[in-house]
Amino acid sequence: MKRCQRRTSLALMFGCLMTGPISSPSIAQEPDRGRAATEAANQAAEADRLFKLGEFEAALPLYEAERASRAKTGDLRYEAYALRAIGICQAELGDDPAAIASWREAFALDLKRDDPGFAGYDDFLIGQAEARLGRPDDAIKSLERALPRLTGAADRDHEIDALLALTRILVGSGRVEPARTHVAWALELAQKANEAWRIADSWASSGQVEGASGHPEVALDHFAKAQKLFEEQGRAAEAAWMETTSASALVLLNRLDEALPRYETAARLHKHLEDGGSTSEDLAAVAGLHLEAGRLDQALIAAEEAVDQARDADDRFREVEARVRLAQVQGAKNDWTSAADTLDEAVILGRQAARDDPAEQIRILLTAAATDFRAGLAARADERIKAAETLAAESKSDDLKRTVADAATALRPTLQSPRQDQTPPSPMPPRQ
């Protein structure tokens, strides 16, 4: 498989457009086919120009036109290339289901022309999109199908990428031991290829594996190696993320005085990079550490900024988490009315950000219910519990049903009691 230039944006992370010289049919003998080949070349050139500028919406119809032209010439190789480009544009525009459909068409063409390397690459792209759609089991299957095909490709770059993607998904799914095998092989391949940024990415992923395995000291060492390499390469975003992950490892080691400045540094770096979502996540952690130490004023400042950063970035998921943290701080300051208002907005956002995740919606609803009670809003608290019960019933999950039933058992006696000085369970903390 031909090596390609990696690009910023989604193409940087998940692959790249691959174009090359167009075979020249005899225009004299086949005028229609020759005309289609010329059209395809022009369409591809303009589409590539727009793609490099990040103009994916404008590039998409040109790649679609190129795909149609390639089909007329019978050039399966470049028709598959156009389909991959179409999928990348669709993914950049937020339509992962359409991207998966395009990459599956490319996969079929690559198998038809017996190119296992590119077929593996198609499966790699599909697996990444399935992971983004919250389908880890499907993503794992796609990536596992991709690996043997990528092993036989002309270069091993995308095999490393697939191994690391599989590592991260397995860790996120709680399957740590198979992840360890994959990341070890990725690191070995990256070192053999002397691919500096892939070596750094392998160390970072290895740190995640070690952290999930309960070895934060080892994780911290691997994160430090990754951060050093990222900094040497001028990869500021990745280096900033290593500050966040290192801080998390320090929290696991209960070295909170060391974790706080690392989170603060990460927040400054992410803010400089104009990454509001990551800045919000860092600041929510800062607020949590101040809260644990009893520094309520500092915690409030950090939590309020965390909400602002997430809102400005239109990152609804992180805004929910920041609001849960802010409500915690407001509650610690005995400002339960403000805490209830903060979580009321979190419930609304949660319906949007976690519409396909009933467990997350239930977590937010139960947190809001406990806070509403403390604010004297018993009727609204009961409404939250009923909404959580409905979601749990619809999910058909026994675990969720038990979680809601336990919360209802703890809260409802206080809701129904005429006395208002009883104390329900504390609100659940933000998800770590």
In 193-273, which ranges are E strands?
none
- Measured between alpha carbons, how far is residue 203 from residues 128, 282, 403 in Å? 20, 21, 37
Q: Is 177 exposed, middle or buried (0-12, 13-18, 19+ CB in 10 A)?
A: exposed
Residues present in the chain in total: 432
Q: What per-residue confidence (pLDDT) applies to 8?
A: 34
Strand, coil or helix: 277:
helix
Query: Which of 413 and 365 is assigned the larger pLDDT?
Result: 365
Region 370-381 average pLDDT: 89
Pairwise CA distance, residues 234 & 37, whole Å: 41
Averaged confidence pLDDT in the chain: 87
Q: What is the pLDDT of residue 15?
A: 38
Residue-by-residue DSSP string for 160-190: HHHHHHHHHHHHHTT-HHHHHHHHHHHHHHH
The pLDDT of residue 253 is 93
At the fourth CATH level, the homologous superfamily of domain 8-20+31-154 is Tetratricopeptide repeat domain (1.25.40.10)
Q: How much is the pLDDT for 404?
A: 87
Q: Which of 157-161, 368-372, 422-426 has the lowest mean pLDDT?
A: 422-426
Q: Output the six-digit token pair for 204.
A: 């970072």
Q: What is the mean pLDDT of residues 119-145?
A: 94
Q: Tell me the CATH number of domain 255-334, given options 1.20.140.10, 3.40.50.2300, 3.10.20.30, 1.25.40.10.
A: 1.25.40.10
For the whole model, what pTM was predicted? 0.77
Q: Where are the domains of the chain?
A: 8-20+31-154, 255-334, 343-432
- 103-136 CB burial, b ≥16 within 10 A, e <16: bbbbbebbeeeebbbbbbbbbbbbbbbbbeeebb
Residues 6+ apart with CB under 8 A from 337: 375, 376
255-334 matches 8-20+31-154 in CATH topology: yes
Tokens in use for 284?
């929510």
Please report which confidence band the pLDDT of residue 415 belongs to, taking 50, 70 and 90 as the band edges. low
Where is average pLDDT lowest: 11-15, 51-55, 134-138, 219-223? 11-15
* Contact yes or no for 245/220 (Cβ under 8 A): no
pLDDT at 7 over 60: no
Of the chain, the end-to-end C-alpha distance in Å amounts to 40
pLDDT tens digits along 203-253: 999 999 999 999 999 999 999 999 999 999 999 999 999 999 999 999 999
Mean pLDDT of 383-398: 89
Q: How far apart are CA 23 and CA 313, in angstroms?
A: 46
160 or 423, which is more confident? 160
Position 413 confidence tier, pLDDT thresholds 50, 70, 90: low
The stretch 191-205 carries a mean pLDDT of 94
Residue 332: which of 291, 376, 374 has the closest Cα?
Answer: 291
**One-letter-per-residue 3-state SS of 131-154:** HHCCCHHHHHHHHHHHHHHHHCCC
> What mean pLDDT is predicted for residues 340-366?
88
- Give residue 263's Cα distance to chain centre: 20
